[in-house]
Structure 1
Amino acid sequence: MADSNSNEVLYDFPPMLRVYKDGRFERLWPIEFVPASVDPNTGVQSKDVEIAPEIGLSARIYVPRNADPAKKLPVVVYFHGGGFVVESAFSPLYQKHLNALVAEANVVAVSVNYRLAPEFHLPIAYEDSWIALKWVGSGLDKWIQDYADLGRVYLGGDSAGGNIVHNIAMRVGSENPDGIHLRGAFLNCPYFCGKDPLLNEETHELMPKSYLDNLWHYACPSTNDCDDPLINPGMDSKLSGLGCKRVLVHVAEKDVLRGRGHLYKEVLEKSGWDGQVEIVDVKGKDHVFSVFFPDSESGLAMLKKVASFINH
């Protein structure tokens, strides 16, 4: 006889994931793959690399058209979004986003394909991202050797990837890895949370606070609560040790995470951190609008802002 709980839903995380009481889960958001290529629109070239094959950690590297070993370029280590449970560095969405970013900013980019929950619960994604950053610093890859200036390294990411950016920048500050000079970090609609609600979090139509809280606990079952410093940077007593001096945060007016982005700026400034943080609040837009609509007016404006931030 079938288990009566087999189709009972424990958590629903539309449009990403559904979790059943018997432990099964199904990804509602397919993990798609497109091959590395030369992009016909931008001339950006990409290739895939294995960083740690023994754990299945890989990345996609991008170089702009007319890259020249005589003129080394800044490096962006990028972490995709997807709530720690969906998406990929190799998906059509991120292939298009990274092609556009690399062309606009004239940088080398390394888009990290960290492992996902629930197969690999947090902190695995953080560990994978740290291994990837150290691999970039090792200079083992030919494109990085030829085109990258490791004295100008930036971290970037959206949503859960923005959360990873913060946590990796914190680790840079505490461990100072060889070969990496971290100049700055940009966070697009970062996924942060906290026990106490902000603004309209509890009543947001698409992703209320209960959604954010449950997703965090599901991705990171070892956590105590949503005031864990990994998801609520304001609770980190070592926040002043963030490992770069410049931070750019984008938030969107309709995004439930908007208040968290503003709070991040506030707690950074109050922490004693010796750096500069800027926030850009985009009217009328929703969560990670620039990733989903990179050719829109607001998406293009954001790319230009990030390019300016990197090439400052």
Structure 2
Amino acid sequence: MSDRTHVGILRNADGTYTRLFRFPSAPATSEPDVHPQVLSKDIIISPSNQTWLRIYLPREALDSSSITKLPLIVYYHGGGFVFMSAASTVTHSFCNELAAQTVAIVVSVEYRLAPEHRLPAAYDDAVEALHHIKATQDEWLTEYVDFSSCFLMGSSAGGNIAYHAGLRVAAAGSDDGLKPLKIKGLILHHPFFGGLERTGSELRLADGSVLTLAGCDGLWELSLPVDADRDHAFCNPKVCDGSGLFGRVRSLGWRVLVVGGFEDMLIDRQMEFAKMLEKQGICTVGHFGEGYHGMEVSEPSKAKELFLAIQRFTSS
């Protein structure tokens, strides 16, 4: 593979990689004066893989006299499988607001990045995180989470990860192996999918300011298994006959929320994906409107409508 500088990563002569984009990080905090509505802390999953969870606990759970427990949103961050972290400031800020505005406990997952760890490493970490959560003795989760009301959510590449993590759970035929954790649905926020055949929106918005067609191609080249093309099932959900898996998703009673923006070059893929799920008999909610790729993460002031849609979805 050639050096990939146009997606912000350089392959060094020794086979290592240097990321040219620096994303500032934010620590977890249990100090209420930092974010008066939400507390957060980190717990380790795998020291060898350097994977961990950041838990976001709404203060409402502590202050309320009610014994009602809160739904759980397991969140996978974006970054094209190659960039960012659960500790990135934009991810941290988004999860703070997600927990506060939806009144849910959010668990953000730190997973391994490509190209050092190509797919399916991120999917492996995503599912391992679910098993860690179901077995945890952390008091924030055991005391305040309604484990029967869990949703897998991701933005961009994280939406792709949430989808494939869900398929892995469904492939087992049931989610009994995750008890007491029970998944009720998937929330796919601007999910990152692709394919060899270009869509109309990819051609029309190929030179977008946030996400470009060349950039997408580069990220897939860095993250897919070596020698795989963009019609691999990890990238293109339409190429694999998943009817058996979709039948299991139906039997589990999961619902899927697909969110997309009309200024995102991936919008055609996202809408086609939602139609594919509907044709398979899966309860699918499409939430499509104005906006560019990952808008609500990069501009928190524009996230109000998204949070309302998520709250309606998780409480219905």
Normalising by structure 2, we get a TM-score of 0.87
> Counterpart amino acid of 1:82?
G
Shift of 1:159: 0.4
1:56 paired to 2:50: yes
Change (3 A) 1:108 1:54: same
Q: What residue is the counterpart of 2:20 in the other structure? A: 28
Change (3 A) 1:310 1:223: farther
Answer yes or no: is the 8 Å Cα contact 2:207–2:213 preserved in 1.
no
Q: 3-state DSSP class of the match of 1:116? A: coil
Q: What residue is the counterpart of 1:212 in the other structure? A: 216
- 1:40-97: per-residue Cα shift (whole Å, max 9, x none)? 4542000000012232110100110131582211101000000011111111111110
Kindly report the root-mean-square deviation, in angstroms, between the aligned alpha carbons of the 2 structures: 2.2
Shift of 1:214: 3.0
Q: What residue is the counterpart of 1:67 in the other structure? A: 61
Answer yes or no: is the 8 Å Cα contact 2:201–2:267 preserved in 1.
no
- 1:222-261: per-residue Cα shift (whole Å, max 9, x none)? 3632121111111222251336521111111111111111
1:17 to 9, 20, 44: 9
Q: What residue is the counterpart of 2:267 in the other structure? A: 258
Shift of 1:216: 1.1
Answer yes or no: is the 8 Å Cα contact 1:185–1:244 preserved in 2.
no
Shift of 1:21: 7.5
Structure 2: which 5+ runs fail to align?
none
Answer yes or no: is the 8 Å Cα contact 1:73–1:106 preserved in 2.
yes
1:113 to 107, 110, 121: 110
Shift of 1:19: 4.0
Change (3 A) 1:155 1:13: farther
Shift of 1:210: 4.0
Q: Which moved more, 1:239-248 or 1:27-36?
A: 239-248
Normalising by structure 1, we get a TM-score of 0.89
Q: Distance in 2 between matches of 1:257 and 1:170?
A: 21
Q: Distance in 2 between matches of 1:31 and 1:216?
A: 20
Q: 3-state DSSP class of the match of 2:301? A: coil
Q: What residue is the counterpart of 1:128 in the other structure? A: 125
Answer yes or no: is the 8 Å Cα contact 1:195–1:226 preserved in 2.
yes
Q: What residue is the counterpart of 1:4 in the other structure? A: none
1:300 paired to 2:301: no
The alignment-based identity, stated in percent, is 31
1:170 to 160, 167, 171: 167
1:276 paired to 2:273: no
Q: 3-state DSSP class of the match of 2:61? A: coil
Q: Distance in 2 between matches of 1:191 and 1:55?
A: 24
Q: Distance in 2 between matches of 1:58 and 1:29?
A: 22
2:85 to 84, 88, 97: 88
Q: Distance in 2 between matches of 1:77 and 1:188?
A: 13
Length, aligned pairs only: 299
- 1:99-122: per-residue Cα shift (whole Å, max 9, x none)? 101011111111001011122222
Q: 3-state DSSP class of the match of 1:77? A: strand
Shift of 1:136: 1.1
> Counterpart amino acid of 2:255?
R
